[in-house]
């Protein structure tokens, strides 16, 4: 079928909307009419050639939500008309997938960034030529997508489907890191570096978990105000005084730090602000060289922990976040700013400049 999709090509400032052809779903796949899709910094980096290497032309997007319109012959748990949130890619067969930890799937990187299915095919084409798709098993910058059944999480039809896409990546990464990777307990403390969608989801999750101190650090006063509204007990500016400010708040250090930035100096600060046996979690790579004295940095039992997708199983954790939202304890809608799909250029610029926390494209 013919669909509209935002295609990333070499030399473009942002993806541009074109008509492309989409295959029908295979046996284990579903076709989803996309209602909305968030834009994530991973999309920005990959389009700009700064993230994992990707083939081109490609349709990016990996925070999609929509309505199932067709299912493959082997699909058993979804049917046409179901509402779904699309999550990341995993093989379903490796030890990590069997253990319910799909974000650490042995093939996750290839399936997420390869621009193709596991067998090397793409469901997208244009004038008979391949257009790479299946980015994070969805390529949701499109009006319709093909996705594996295992990547689609069914949700109730009374939910605001246009808001739910970011639950599949940015928000599950932040909240899952606190609740699943750290397993933060009541009375423990955390400092969150970066008050974007990932960091603010972590702030909300820390409040749910009962953290005694939740400190948000960012360069934007507007985002720090939002962090306070969402549960931060303190919010401080990111500058040369940050380390001293953190020591004043918690002289003995923090149980956890959570770094959503790529600044090498923040990686160091996130470890130095820890208490004895504290854990510094991070979700992205440092920008440029980072060569600290690790023996000193990790003294007193401190740990560095890399986290993918919040270490959370989407089919379990996305419904949990929705339950918290229904209870009024996880107001992720406060992060969202909506744009029509046709205005993807404006949304891209707003995300690049940090003018909005979470841009969401309405298809």
Q: Find out whether 343 and 19 touch, Cβ atoms under 8 Å.
A: no
Per-residue pLDDT, 132: 98
Q: Which two tokens stand for residue 56?
A: 């081109």
Lowest pLDDT segment from 15-29, 99-113, 184-198, 280-294 = 280-294
Query: What's 50's domain CATH number?
Result: 3.90.180.10
Q: Which two tokens stand for residue 191?
A: 């400092």
Same domain, 142 and 212: no
| Residue 5 region by backbone torsions, left for phi larger than 0, else alpha for psi between -120 and 50, else beta | beta
Is residue 94 assigned to a domain? yes
Same domain, 65 and 119: yes
Is residue 21 assigned to a domain? yes
Per-residue pLDDT, 289: 82
Same domain, 12 and 152: yes
- What is the average pLDDT across 262-280? 96
Same domain, 161 and 201: no
Is residue 240 assigned to a domain? yes
> In total, how many domains does the chain have?
2
Beta strand extents in the chain (DSSP E only): 2-8, 16-22, 29-38, 58-59, 64-71, 83-86, 124-126, 129-131, 144-148, 152-155, 189-193, 213-218, 234-237, 254-259, 274-282, 303-306, 336-340, 358-362
pLDDT digits (tens, 9 = 90+) for 157-185: 999 999 999 999 999 999 999 999 999 99
Per-residue pLDDT, 293: 86
Is residue 314 assigned to a domain? no
Block residue for tokens 């007990």: 233
Same domain, 12 and 76: yes
- What is the average pLDDT across 289-293? 85
Per-residue pLDDT, 352: 96
Q: Find out whether 238 and 260 touch, Cβ atoms under 8 Å.
A: no
Is residue 321 assigned to a domain? no
pLDDT digits (tens, 9 = 90+) for 66-115: 999 999 999 999 999 999 999 999 999 999 999 999 999 999 999 999 99
CA nearest neighbour of 175 among 237, 228, 230: 230
Query: What's 205's domain CATH number?
Result: 3.40.50.720
Per-residue pLDDT, 292: 85
- What is the average pLDDT across 245-255? 97
Same domain, 252 and 116: no
Is residue 194 assigned to a domain? yes
Same domain, 186 and 268: yes
> Mean pLDDT in the chain?
97
Same domain, 226 and 213: yes
Is residue 324 assigned to a domain? no
CA nearest neighbour of 230 among 240, 243, 216: 216
Per-residue pLDDT, 238: 95
Percentage of the chain modeled with pLDDT above 90? 95
Same domain, 252 and 177: yes
Per-residue pLDDT, 307: 98
Residue 251 has pLDDT above 90, yes or no: yes
Identify the domain containing residue 212 by its residue range: 173-308
Is residue 131 assigned to a domain? yes
Same domain, 158 and 266: no
* DSSP type of residue 294: H
Same domain, 194 and 227: yes
Percentages helix, strand, coil for the chain (3-state, rounded to 5) are 35, 30, 35
Same domain, 110 and 18: yes
- What is the average pLDDT across 133-158? 98
CB neighbourhood size of 338 (10 A): 15
Per-residue pLDDT, 51: 75
């Amino acid at each position: 079928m013919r669909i509209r999709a935002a295609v990333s090509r070499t030399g473009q400032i942002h993806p541009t909307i074109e008509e492309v052809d989409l295959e029908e779903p295979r046996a284990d796949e579903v076709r989803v009419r996309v209602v909305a899709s968030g834009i994530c910094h991973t999309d920005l980096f990959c389009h700009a050639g700064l993230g994992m290497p990707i083939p081109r032309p490609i349709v990016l997007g990996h925070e999609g939500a929509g309505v199932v319109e067709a299912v493959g012959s082997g699909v058993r748990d979804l049917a046409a008309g179901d509402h779904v949130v699309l999550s990341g890619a995993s093989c379903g067969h490796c030890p990590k997938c069997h253990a319910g930890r799909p974000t650490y799937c042995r093939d996750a990187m290839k399936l997420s960034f390869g621009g193709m299915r596991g067998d090397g095919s793409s469901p997208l084409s244009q004038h008979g030529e391949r257009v790479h798709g299946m980015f994070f098993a969805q390529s949701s910058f499109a009006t319709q997508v093909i996705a594996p059944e295992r990547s689609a999480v069914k949700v109730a039809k009374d939910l605001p489907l246009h808001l739910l896409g970011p639950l599949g990546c940015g928000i599950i990464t932040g909240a899952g890191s606190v609740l699943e990777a750290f397993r933060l307990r009541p009375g423990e403390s955390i400092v969150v570096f970066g008050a974007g969608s990932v960091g603010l989801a972590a702030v909300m999750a820390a409040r749910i978990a009962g953290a005694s101190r939740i400190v948000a650090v960012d360069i934007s006063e507007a985002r720090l105000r939002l962090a306070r509204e969402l549960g931060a007990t303190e919010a401080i500016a990111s500058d040369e005084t940050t380390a001293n400010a953190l020591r004043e708040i918690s002289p003995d250090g923090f149980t956890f730090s959570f770094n959503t930035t790529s600044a090498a100096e923040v990686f160091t600060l996130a470890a130095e602000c820890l208490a004895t046996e504290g854990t510094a979690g991070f979700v992205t790579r440092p920008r440029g060289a980072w060569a600290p004295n690790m023996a000193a940095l990790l003294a007193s039992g401190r740990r560095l922990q890399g986290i993918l997708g919040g270490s959370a199983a989407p089919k379990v954790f996305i419904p949990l976040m929705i339950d918290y939202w229904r209870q009024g304890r996880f107001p992720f809608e406060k992060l969202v700013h909506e744009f029509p799909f046709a205005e993807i250029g404006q949304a891209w610029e707003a995300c690049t400049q940090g003018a909005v926390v979470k841009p969401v494209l309405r298809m």
